Chains A and B, each alone.
Chain A
Amino acid sequence: MGKDVVFQRGVMMSFIWILLLTFIATLGWAYENPTDLTELAIEDLMKIEITSVSKKQQKVFDAAAAIFVITQEDIRRSGVTSIPEALRMAPGVEVAHISANQWAISIRGFNNLFANKLLVLIDGRSVYSPLYSGVFWDIQDTLLEDIERIEVIRGPGATLWGANAVNGVINIITKQAKDTQGGLVSFGGGTEERGFGEVRYGGKIGEGTYYRAYAKYFDRDHFSDTFGQATHDGWNALRGGFRVDSQLSLQDSITAQGDIYKTDSGLTSSFALLYPPFTQSLNEEIHSVGGNILGRWRHTFSNSSDMILQMYYDWKEHQELAHGERRDTFDLDFQHKFPLVEWQEVVWGLGYRLVEDDIRNSFSVAFTPDHRTDHLFSGFVQDDLSLIKDRLRVTLGSKFEHNSYTGFEIQPNVRMLWTPGSRHSIWGAVSRAVRTPARADDDVRYNISALPPDTVTNPSSLPVLISAFGNHYVESEKLIAYELGYRVQATSRITMDIATFYNDYTHLRSSETGMPRLETSPGPLHLLVPITLGNGLKATTYGLEMAIDWRALDWWRLQASYTYLKVRVPSASVMSSTFVEFGDERDPRHQIGLWSWMDLRRDLELNLSFRFVDKLPDLQVKSYVNLDAQLVWKPHKNLELSIVGQNLLDHSHAEFRTESFLPAPAIEVERGVYGRMTWRF
């Protein structure tokens, strides 16, 4: 084991040194005179590809926030097959692959299976579940090829996104239908990716209306545990969708899109019982089906003023042994942007969301009431002031919401962007954000585990049942965040982005153990140890995130990211009876990522993704270093063959551990290889 670590460290250090050397050597080279383009004929000028770093950075440069854009090229070249895996590219994001079909993803700390401080949107549709305040990553998917970009905004999601965008927002944006014309067939298989197939066709109806439709299927293998035993977490999914974009006139455009899916995931669950054997571990299949339909209308008044009206309906059904959920969401959003005076731009909006659910209760997990309808009313306003034209900009804004759990919430923020020159900018922000309670925080009873009678842990003659209870008086978790960042486009080939933050949390969810009491129902008679949810915890976190994008050579692009995070839970706020579901030692202190995209020949690419993730001591997860490699060959204009190796440096490794009261060997992510063939027509 020790030798493994040394080897991994060695590989990583060598990589970093090679990078550094090439960087220094290239700096001199970067200034050499370009070839005289005026000597070329027009036909030749038309063939030159501009691959400027600035295209990706342009969106980011003027933002007074810590934003990182994962482009379609980044997604394609990293060889990832799912949205969670694509998110590893962004600094500040923790992505832990818990089991083959589960991920723990968070930004700036508090990572968990149901990490609850992150808002995720797909084309404006929120996929954050109000049941547990988390994201069910196994049902968030689309044709990765059709993703235009993923915007990762670290820090309170600012005015525009709303409650629960406490630590960040992930905005997945798909391509417009006019950019996905023609046909695409892609399929392949391998060791972990047992088999997958994708088709998409895009076409045009008359002038100005484009559409596309897609379908995909995949079957993924299970992982194994630390002892090499197969874990029951294989899964498969079938999904399809469409999108239609129509430019009705110069001022109006509409979009309609929808998806439908069915996912079956394996899971090993343990249940508490009030009779022998008092705990039972079962392999089960989780069935999820769902779909959504979204419509958006955009009206342009002028170059600086427009209005967007969006409506969507989302339904999902989720069935597992101890729990069943049917959820319907209807959302209506309006947004209007206009200039107040020449140097002031105002954006304001109103939103309404109706969420209705139906839950099937069981002995293990029960919600009271089992049917609930919640209304969410929201509004926001943001004022963008150009105090000194092109140099100093201040943005003031606030989101106002009324929800069914805590009533009225206000989330104001102020941001400032200073651009001393066209090549660098400094920004700062102070924001307040809240995480409103989820259904589970309020209404749940979850029987965590049972202790049999007449044992060392439970000397009484009655079984002991440990249960977690929601609390109707639970409040929102609150955050005040202070952020500062710096961006520089050092040369036309290299940009660097640094963001730092200091987050002050109060009213974090805590669980207090209460006095044991006798309970007769559900029978048989037992001693109940209640753990009640509350808001008794405070914490502060601070850190730094750095991203470098370097076009070392015309055919070689490098990206690097570094994340530092420190979580502090002051012991004074932790009483002995409190369960802390987060802590100083559950998020990686350091994370490093390195990506190398190389065009070896016009038809051959070699793409490498390298990562180091620090240990999670409280979860007994060791640090790890890993490498994904992809070789792409384009024998013909319309044909692409690729082979991808994932998690190559280790046969298997654990990235996270969900706690249970039962000791269980960790699930380990396995090394895998897959091949893909893509044909376009």
Chain B
Amino acid sequence: MLIMMFISLSIPVGSGSIVIANPPASPEYLIKAAYLYNFTKFVEWPPEAFEDDFSPINLFILGADPFGEALDSIKNRTVQGRRLNIKYVNHIEEVSGCHILFISASEKENLRSILRILKNSTILTISETENFSKRGGIINFIQVENKIHFEINPDAAQQGKLKISSQLLRLAKIVSSESR
């Protein structure tokens, strides 16, 4: 008994400071960040959405940011020949120039008015709240048996003059807008 304790104490322990600096990104948001990066490859914006062939793709996070460090893996990467630029906003009024808008769950209460304001824009709206796609959001993350999948509302995409590749539609759960 005592011998065991003695042996354990004398084995040098590996490195690894126990200081908790910035909390490391949670796997869920690393996956969602990877999805955001990938979605840009399958979506075509109308020509008027961009200034020129080299202007960046603007990804805005509206509301409380759940990603944290997870976005570091996609920040400033190049996609479709454009740089992926990330900005954090708190009000729907600040979305001019936005191409992809990730609406945080913190904005759940204002969802209806947010989507109403965005109805005629060319913004790819993405969220992770229940019924987001039914209400007119374009892409919504859902959890299926511990895995992250997504729903797409093609009608909402069409309204925003966005073309979503059939390759992406094939993998998504298709949702139509709920008639109210």
Restricting to B29-56, which residues have a CB under 8 Å from any CB of A? Answer: 30-31, 33-35, 37-38, 42
Q: Which 9 A-B pairs have the closest CB atoms?
A: A28-B16, A37-B34, A28-B14, A49-B146, A27-B16, A50-B28, A38-B34, A38-B37, A303-B109
Of the residues B20, B108, B143, contact of A491 by C-beta under 8 Å: B20
B residues engaging A (CB < 8 A)? Answer: 1, 4-5, 8, 11, 13-16, 18, 20, 23-28, 30-31, 33-35, 37-38, 42, 73-74, 77, 108-109, 131, 143, 145-149, 168, 171
A28 to B13 alpha-carbon distance, docked (Å): 9
Contact B27–A13 (Cβ < 8 Å): no
Chain A positions within 8 Å of B14 at CB level: 24-25, 28-29
A558 to B163 alpha-carbon distance, docked (Å): 46
Contact A45–B1 (Cβ < 8 Å): no
Restricting to A7-59, which residues have a CB under 8 Å from any CB of B? Answer: 9-10, 13-14, 17, 20-21, 24-25, 27-31, 34, 36-38, 40-43, 45-52, 54
Q: Is A422 an interface residue (CB 8 A)?
A: yes
A302 CB → nearest B CB, Å: 8
A residues engaging B (CB < 8 A)? Answer: 9-10, 13-14, 17, 20-21, 24-25, 27-31, 34, 36-38, 40-43, 45-52, 54, 250, 302-304, 422-423, 490-492
Chain B positions within 8 Å of A17 at CB level: 4-5, 8
Chain B positions within 8 Å of A50 at CB level: 27-28, 31, 143, 146-148
Assuming the contacts A36-B73, A37-B33, A47-B147, asked whether A42 and B38 have C-beta atoms less than 8 A apart, the reply is: yes
Of the residues A21, A37, A490, contact of B20 by C-beta under 8 Å: A490
A492 to B11 alpha-carbon distance, docked (Å): 27
A217 to B147 alpha-carbon distance, docked (Å): 34
A50 to B147 alpha-carbon distance, docked (Å): 6
A9 to B4 alpha-carbon distance, docked (Å): 13
B134 CB → nearest A CB, Å: 9
Contact B13–A492 (Cβ < 8 Å): no
A20 to B73 alpha-carbon distance, docked (Å): 33
A272 CB → nearest B CB, Å: 50
Contact A37–B31 (Cβ < 8 Å): yes
B152 CB → nearest A CB, Å: 12
A-B contact pairs, 10 of them (CB 8 A): A28-B16, A30-B16, A30-B24, A37-B30, A38-B33, A40-B34, A43-B171, A46-B147, A52-B28, A304-B109
Contact B38–A45 (Cβ < 8 Å): yes
Of the residues A28, A48, A423, contact of B23 by C-beta under 8 Å: A423
A301 CB → nearest B CB, Å: 12
A555 CB → nearest B CB, Å: 14
Contact A38–B171 (Cβ < 8 Å): no
Chain B positions within 8 Å of A36 at CB level: 73
With most chain B CB atoms within 10 A of its CB, the pick from A21, A28, A34, A38 is A38
Assuming the contacts A10-B1, A46-B149, A48-B147, asked whether A422 and B16 have C-beta atoms less than 8 A apart, the reply is: no
A534 to B81 alpha-carbon distance, docked (Å): 83
Contact B38–A34 (Cβ < 8 Å): no
B171 CB → nearest A CB, Å: 6
B180 CB → nearest A CB, Å: 9
Residue on A nearest B35 in the bound complex, by CB: A45
Chain B positions within 8 Å of A492 at CB level: 23-27
Chain A positions within 8 Å of B149 at CB level: 46
Chain A positions within 8 Å of B25 at CB level: 34, 492
B136 CB → nearest A CB, Å: 14
Of the residues B20, B73, B74, B168, contact of A423 by C-beta under 8 Å: B20
Residue on A nearest B110 in the bound complex, by CB: A303
Chain A positions within 8 Å of B73 at CB level: 36-38
Contact A31–B148 (Cβ < 8 Å): no
B18 CB → nearest A CB, Å: 6
Contact B26–A45 (Cβ < 8 Å): no
Of the residues A21, A37, A47, contact of B8 by C-beta under 8 Å: A21
With most chain B CB atoms within 10 A of its CB, the pick from A27, A42, A51, A303 is A42
Residue on B nearest A25 in the bound complex, by CB: B14
A20 to B145 alpha-carbon distance, docked (Å): 31
A419 CB → nearest B CB, Å: 14
Beyond contacts A38-B38, A42-B35: 20 other A-B pairs, Cβ-Cβ < 8 A, are A9-B1, A13-B4, A17-B5, A20-B8, A24-B13, A24-B14, A27-B18, A30-B24, A36-B73, A37-B31, A38-B34, A45-B34, A45-B148, A47-B147, A49-B146, A50-B146, A303-B108, A491-B23, A492-B23, A492-B27
A30 to B15 alpha-carbon distance, docked (Å): 11
Contact A42–B168 (Cβ < 8 Å): yes
Residue on A nearest B11 in the bound complex, by CB: A21
Chain B positions within 8 Å of A54 at CB level: 26
B107 CB → nearest A CB, Å: 11
B34 CB → nearest A CB, Å: 4
Chain A positions within 8 Å of B131 at CB level: 250
Assuming the contacts A27-B18, A30-B16, A38-B38, asked whether A52 and B26 have C-beta atoms less than 8 A apart, the reply is: yes
Residue on B nearest A73 in the bound complex, by CB: B146
Residue on A nearest B32 in the bound complex, by CB: A45
A52 to B26 alpha-carbon distance, docked (Å): 8
A550 CB → nearest B CB, Å: 14
Chain B positions within 8 Å of A14 at CB level: 4
B74 CB → nearest A CB, Å: 6
Residue on B nearest A422 in the bound complex, by CB: B23
Residue on A nearest B111 in the bound complex, by CB: A303
Chain B positions within 8 Å of A48 at CB level: 27, 31, 147-148
B135 CB → nearest A CB, Å: 10
Chain B positions within 8 Å of A304 at CB level: 109
Chain B positions within 8 Å of A25 at CB level: 13-14
A422 CB → nearest B CB, Å: 7
Of the residues B24, B30, B77, B108, contact of A31 by C-beta under 8 Å: B24
A343 CB → nearest B CB, Å: 14
Chain A positions within 8 Å of B1 at CB level: 9-10, 13
A378 CB → nearest B CB, Å: 32
B83 CB → nearest A CB, Å: 15
Assuming the contacts A45-B31, A303-B108, A492-B24, asked whether A38 and B4 have C-beta atoms less than 8 A apart, the reply is: no
Chain A positions within 8 Å of B27 at CB level: 34, 48, 50, 52, 492
A50 to B142 alpha-carbon distance, docked (Å): 12
Contact A49–B8 (Cβ < 8 Å): no
A49 to B33 alpha-carbon distance, docked (Å): 15
Chain B positions within 8 Å of A490 at CB level: 20
A422 to B24 alpha-carbon distance, docked (Å): 13
A483 to B115 alpha-carbon distance, docked (Å): 45
Chain A positions within 8 Å of B33 at CB level: 37-38
Chain B positions within 8 Å of A20 at CB level: 8
Residue on B nearest A48 in the bound complex, by CB: B31
